[in-house]
Amino acid sequence: MKIGNSWSQMAQTLKNRLESALGSRILDSAPMAVGFGLTGMRITLADGRRLAVKARAHTQGTRAGPSLEIEAYMLAELARLSDLPVPAVHAAAPDLLVMDFIDNDGGAITKDAERHAGELIARLHATPREAFGYARDTLIGPLPQPNPRCMRWIPFFRDHRLMHMADEARDEGRLPAAMHARIAILAARLDAHLIEPAHPALLHGDLWTGNVLVRAGRIAGFVDPAIYCGAPEIELAFATLFGTFGRAFFESYEAVLPLQPGFHEGRRDLYNLYPLLVHVRLFGASYLAGIDRVLARFGV
């Protein structure tokens, strides 16, 4: 798609801004699906770079959404602290993010790719970090994640993941008060169901299928992170919620970092209350049934 056509839906000011920030002319571009009301483009520059662009329109003012600079920060932290394949950031602002475009097959995650992902994520989790939380608050999708420094995992998960997201969902009218009360009862009993991990681990934080890019049976890149330091099990649980990874992933992961007994039998479902609450806030009541099933399983 040539530049004259592909930019017809994007303001000329953004094109000029990109060329100024990147120091090269845009030769051509194509739309790219990015979600959450953002505009996405794949661009090719005169200097040969192929980049992915996320941009937010200014029609809704400063309340249009969270800063894209936070996503840039999270990608940069993963690049700095791990060997995960993530796109390099070329420009970032509250309403703009420009990063490497990662070539990928655009298809399903194969068994070989699952095994490669298991190795990569296990190496990420195997490195001890200083504390749970992070140096700053981050995001999961467009939603804030508070990250105060904590030395114990279970209180951090209870207060800053499970109850934080439940409180926000209730206050927005997305989570019924009765279900919120049941979550609070379970939250008070977490010490009976969860275990403290061996150490805090850096997490990608949002391992669903759309954030895992595959090329020729290998992981080409992980995108759209929601980083913080937490228990590896919450990351692994999320990776099963929508079928991102299966047995091949876990076999590869456990060859590097064995799991403690009881994860698949119970802790996985409890941890998945957090992403289910995220989805309730973002997409509505269709995810309440999944929350109800988990609560009933734990007797509340």
93: which strand partners? 96
Separation of alpha carbons 16 and 11, rounded Å: 9
* 63 confidence band (pLDDT: 50, 70, 90): very low
Could you tell me the pTM of the whole model?
Answer: 0.93
pLDDT digits (tens, 9 = 90+) for 113-169: 999 999 999 999 999 999 999 999 999 999 999 999 999 999 999 999 999 999 999
111-297: which CATH number, 3.30.70.1450, 3.50.50.60, 2.20.25.10, 3.90.1200.10?
A: 3.90.1200.10
- Is 112 part of the annotated catalytic residue set? no
Rounded to 5°, angle at Cα 153 from 147 and 157: 60
Question: Stretch 212-235: mean pLDDT, rounded?
Answer: 97
* Across 18-33, average pLDDT: 94
The mean pLDDT of 28-34, rounded to a whole number, is 91
Helix axes 111-126, 232-241, angle to 10 degrees: 160
Fold entry, domain 3-100: Phosphorylase Kinase; domain 1 (3.30.200)
* Per-residue pLDDT band at 59 (split at 50, 70, 90): very low
Whole-number percent of the chain with pLDDT over 90: 88
Domains of the chain by residue range: 3-100, 111-297
Q: Mean pLDDT over all residues of the chain?
A: 93
3-100 and 111-297 share one fold: no
- Catalytic residue selected from 95, 206, 224, 269: 206
pLDDT for the residue 8:
53
Residue-wise pLDDT tens digits, 158-215: 999 999 999 999 999 999 999 999 999 999 999 999 999 999 999 999 999 999 999 9
